[in-house]
Amino acid sequence: MSIDEKPQKGVTRRTFIKGAVLGAAGVAAGGMLAGCGVKEETKGPSPTTSNGTSKPSFLTPPDPIPDSEIKETKTADVVVVGAGCGGLIAAVSAAEAGAKTILLEKGDKPTTGAMWMAAINSSLQKKLGIEIDRDEVVAEICRYGGHLVDQRLVNLWADKSGEFMDWFMPLMEAAGYETILETDLKEGYYKSYPVGHVVIKPPKQDIGHLGDYGSPLFIPVLENKAKELGVEIYYKMPGVQLEQDNSGRVTGIIAGNSENYTRFNANKGIILCTGGYARNEEMIKELCPTAQYSGSSIAPPGNTGDGIKMAMWVGAAIDPIQAMMVFDRGLVGKDGKLGAPWKGGYLRIGSQPFLRVNINGERFVNEDLPYDFICNAGVMQPGHVWWQIWDGKWREDITRFHTTICSRVVPHPEAPPRDGLDHVEKELENFVKQGLLIKADTIDELVQKMGVPADTFKATIARYNELAKKGKDEDFGKLAFRLSTIEKAPFYAAKLSSALLCNITGLRINTKMQVLNEDLDPIPGLYAAGNDSGSFFAFSYPQMFGGLALGRIATFARLAGQYAAAE
């Protein structure tokens, strides 16, 4: 390419279909590497979509909404679309910078979800004497993504995340909360980093469950801060179409529904923070096909790709290969169905490094891997699912395994509150009653209920017990203290696939959070943060950085609000 030639284009509604080979084969392969979900043996993605057209419906811009259907017009400097963590932070940041700000949300309240928020060089880390090599962190994040990322954005997070936390933590303290740092790290082949900040209710308790810490605490604080700063918040107001002037600048957004559309004009910019497309079956199938094979989903129901679709309709580029965050905790439902509507269960101990076998009863992997790596390994197996096996001494085993971040079960003084073993026991018994988990008094009964080849399975159990007693995994190299015999009744088996959380790729952006077109030039007036934005992750989520997804969302949302307000 000569110095005068344009750089390689991104992927847009125009170039997506041109890349049909990538869409049907390359993206599918990339999706496997990305840790997308799994399903029973199926044929590859069809070259046509479910509606029989030659391209997916979300790539076809809808007709412009006529003025006759718009009942009201409102104007602000900055309009933020989506009231999750990213949208609230963007709105607060824009308002702090002096911009008249409007926040739109399709639901009837803000969206909560994540717990850990990663940052480096925060005042809390400095207070605790924790030093993290910034360049090592950047290199490791880029390595997980095979450098199919914009390193300038990774650099930006590394340089600005601590600054964000130092703005965020006083807000939480003023609301009566405390921010703690998880410093007890996992041992193993994959290096872990003390980056995960978590908001808790003081004083810190050993036992805590979902809702007791993280976003269920800080989201209401951010919502109240936005209102205090004069942000106008409109709930039940989904974004529908972006509007552009003749120069191509995004000037506003039409939101609402056909009975009551409102035009929201933005003098300075629109910021998209709608949560990504983890609940849009069609987008998953076309952009990250293997994710449709996950057995369960904990993605918010409203994350249907609204922001990404609207941006693509005005010429925005997306990451060339799409990827999902998946955890190896997706209990396959009783009907065995994988994919949408993702009705399987969520097994909290699915990430514990117990024995895993395929549907032929064969062990196939070192079970002590990052969550999505296990999912990748499962995709490679017959039926694209796996069984997790453990026995009656599971309490002792889980305590010894010493997993961390969100797979941690046993409380630790250097970690946020955890569920504890008693809570897990109740959860397991409930899954047994629901028919989602197998419990048996003997190995023979267990294998009969599982329906896998008995001789092969029992030979696998015998070999695994032998390795555990030797204290050396001669077959797959798992660390000795994470081996465990399968000898003490009762015996358990869980049929697992991946559990779907969110997309980790999306719209191409630059370091000012501006959305880019297919020539990778900014689309004037349009910004994105959170799971609507991309250019930061690829292939696999860097799980050993606890809370990196939320840390990126928060840091970049603050920057998006500031940059939009400064236009």
Mean pLDDT, the chain, whole residue set: 91
* Band of residue 492 on the pLDDT scale cut at 50, 70, 90: very high
Within 13 Å, how many C-alpha atoms sit on residue 493's CB side? 24
% residues pLDDT > 70 (the chain)? 91
* Band of residue 152 on the pLDDT scale cut at 50, 70, 90: very high
Instruction: Give the model confidence (pLDDT) of 337-371 as tens digits.
Output: 898 989 899 999 999 999 999 999 999 999 999 99
For 526, the enclosing helix (H) or strand (E) is strand 522-528
The number of beta carbons lying within 10 Å of the beta carbon of residue 230 is: 9
Question: What average pLDDT does the segment 498-503 reach?
Answer: 96
Rounded Cα gap, residues 23 and 301, in angstroms: 25
Give the C-alpha distances (Å, rounded to integers) separating 78 from 264, 266, 517: 10, 5, 21
The number of beta carbons lying within 10 Å of the beta carbon of residue 127 is: 9
pLDDT > 90? residue 385: yes
Closest CA to 485 of 467, 512, 505, 472: 467
Beta bridge partners of 355: 389
Buried (b) or exposed (e) across 168-183, using 16+ Cβ within 10 A? bbebbeeeebbbbbbe
The number of beta carbons lying within 10 Å of the beta carbon of residue 470 is: 11
* 8 Å CB contact between 280 and 482: no
For 88, the enclosing helix (H) or strand (E) is helix 85-96
Q: What is the pLDDT of residue 335?
A: 78
Instruction: Give the model confidence (pLDDT) of 426-439 as tens digits.
Output: 999 999 999 999 99
Instruction: Give the model confidence (pLDDT) of 73-106 as tens digits.
Output: 999 999 999 999 999 999 999 999 999 999 999 9
pLDDT > 60? residue 11: no
Instruction: Give the model confidence (pLDDT) of 310-320 as tens digits.
Output: 999 999 999 99
Question: What average pLDDT does the segment 461-468 reach?
Answer: 98
Torsion (CA) 195, 200, 205, 207 in degrees, nearest 10? -80
Q: What is the pLDDT of residue 565?
A: 98
Q: What is the pLDDT of residue 71?
A: 96
Bigger pLDDT: 175 vs 35: 175
Name the burial class of residue 57, with classes exposed (0-12), middle (13-18) and buried (19+) by CB atoms within 10 angstroms of its CB: middle
Question: What average pLDDT does the segment 524-544 reach?
Answer: 97
Instruction: Give the model confidence (pLDDT) of 37-48 as tens digits.
Output: 333 333 333 334
Q: How many H helices and E strands in the chain?
A: 16, 18
Amino acid present at 40: E
Lowest mean pLDDT among 253-257, 289-293, 451-455: 289-293
Bigger pLDDT: 40 vs 210: 210
% residues pLDDT > 90 (the chain)? 86
For 56, the enclosing helix (H) or strand (E) is none
* Band of residue 148 on the pLDDT scale cut at 50, 70, 90: very high
Q: What is the pLDDT of residue 422?
A: 98
Question: What average pLDDT does the segment 363-392 reach?
Answer: 95
Rounded Cα gap, residues 241 and 306, in angstroms: 9
> Is the backbone of residue 256 left (phi > 0), alpha (psi -120 to 50) or beta?
left
Tell me how far apart the 2 most distant CA atoms of the chain are, in Å: 77
Q: What is the pLDDT of residue 397?
A: 98
* 8 Å CB contact between 548 and 39: no
Cα end-to-end span (Å), the chain: 34
Question: What average pLDDT does the segment 513-540 reach?
Answer: 98
Instruction: Give the model confidence (pLDDT) of 23-79 as tens digits.
Output: 333 333 333 333 333 333 333 333 344 445 578 999 999 999 999 999 999 999 999
Give the C-alpha distances (Å, rounded to integers) separating 40 from 148, 331, 332, 386, 497: 30, 13, 10, 10, 10
pLDDT > 70? residue 10: no
3-state SS of 370-407?
CHHHHHHHHHCCHHHCEEEEECCCHHHHHHHHCCCHHH
Closest CA to 180 of 1, 17, 334, 411: 411
Q: What is the pLDDT of residue 53?
A: 53
Question: What average pLDDT does the segment 266-286 reach?
Answer: 96
* Band of residue 178 on the pLDDT scale cut at 50, 70, 90: very high
